[in-house]
Amino acid sequence: MKYYLIAGEASGDLHGSNLIKGLAKIDEHAAFRCWGGDLMEAAGATLVRHYKEQSFMGFFEVIKNLPAIFRNIRSCKEDIESYDPDVIIFIDYSGFNLRIAQWAKEKGYKTFYYVSPQVWASREGRIKRIKRDIDEMFVILPFEKDFYEKKHNYPVNFVGHPLLDAIAQQERTPPEDFRKEFDLDERPIIALLPGSRKQEITNMLEVMLSVAASYSEYQFVIAGAPSQDYEFYQQFIGKSNVSFVTGRTYDLLHASKAALVTSGTATLETALLKIPQVVCYKGNWISYQIAKRIITLDYISLVNLIMNREVVKELIQDEFNTSRLKEEFDKILDPEVRARIAKDYDELEQKLGGTGASQEAARLMFEKIS
């Protein structure tokens, strides 16, 4: 079979790479072509366009980059027609993927969606397009199955969360070896996960690093995004207790006492690695004002959404400032709070359904194509 996969950010690249590995085990004649990243390419796909060339964050940023987005859409359609796949697999990234899906369905291609757009969070009307243009939906969050099937009468496949696979498969460097490798001293490590896009990283690190001077007894270590060069991060690395690593986020978290994390998939990764965290988010003012009016959720982090209660503290927009961050950071250093968080994290892991999501998704996809 010929598979065409489209992912538009780092998390999609990760999930797409594990899906490719799963499909390759089942389909000995599998061939893969993708819009994604280094991980999908390493898993065996021919990479057409890297996600870092097409990732725009927020409403205002999308508007500014509309010409580039439309060029990418045209290019993607042309490449799909040239490749003529047996199935197109869309991975999250709904603004781009739903446009391609409509065209693909009209052209007669089989369309699968892996990692649902967050239609349960905002713009729920997109469900009409999904029902019209997507042949099979494969969801990874436990509450999504009820959302689609009970609320919208659209059957979906719940396969579990692929992050459990990614974490289970990761070979972990012992913390003492990790410290030696990156010349880190014996002070407890606080991981900083500021996101993957330049504008996002700049917004987040400014505030995250503002607390570092008040905690000289800790060393703050920035987790570099694979999509960004070291030169970009140099502007943030100047304080005596601030260091930098890249491509080793799981090892960094494994060695850390706590973490400050930008809202997104990283909040769930941090929870599954059992590290207490404060979730942070600050975006473009215009984009935030628009989002605030259309997002209907009580929480923004996947941890709290899955648990349907506040497990980790979320500091959003104006509340994400130095004084509030110090206040919440102090709390996650408290032994009693840490014990409560650890218990909640165990419950979270149980809700996600265990390992094997990537292989289960691959098995179901292959059955539905064959």
Average pLDDT taken over every residue of the chain: 91
Write the pLDDT tens digit of every residue in 259-270. 999 988 899 999
Residues in the chain: 370
- Whether residue 110 has pLDDT greater than 90: yes
- Whether residue 229 has pLDDT greater than 70: yes
Q: Which residue has the higher pLDDT, 64 or 157?
A: 157
As assigned by CATH, the class of the 168-351 domain is alpha beta
- Residue 235, classified by CB atoms within 10 Å of its CB into exposed (0-12), middle (13-18) or buried (19+), is exposed
The pLDDT, as a whole number, for residue 63 is 64
- CATH number for the domain running over 2-161+355-369: 3.40.50.2000
Write the pLDDT tens digit of every residue in 311-357. 999 999 899 999 999 999 999 999 999 999 999 999 999 999 888 99
The pLDDT, as a whole number, for residue 264 is 85
The pLDDT, as a whole number, for residue 121 is 80
Q: How crowded is the C-beta side of 287, counted as CA atoms within 13 Å?
A: 16
238 three-class SS: coil
- 18: tokens are 């594990």
CATH topology identical between 2-161+355-369 and 168-351: yes
The pLDDT, as a whole number, for residue 265 is 87
DSSP 205: H
Mean pLDDT computed over 242-250: 94
CA–CA distance, 93 with 105 (Å, rounded to integer): 17
- Whether residue 273 has pLDDT greater than 70: yes
Nearest partner of 242 among 192, 173, 174, judged by Cα: 192
The pLDDT, as a whole number, for residue 173 is 94
Asked whether the beta carbons of 22 and 363 are under 8 A apart, the reply is yes
Helix (H), strand (E) counts: the chain = 19, 13
DSSP 148: I
- 103: tokens are 């065209």
The pLDDT, as a whole number, for residue 291 is 56
Sheet holding 256-262, edge to edge: 242-246, 219-224, 189-193, 256-262, 277-281, 313-316
* Confidence band for 199, pLDDT divided at 50, 70 and 90: confident
The domain locations on the chain are 2-161+355-369, 168-351
Helices (H), the chain: 10-26, 38-42, 59-64, 66-83, 94-107, 127-133, 142-146, 152, 163-169, 175-181, 198-208, 230-233, 249-254, 265-272, 285-294, 302-307, 322-331, 335-351, 357-369
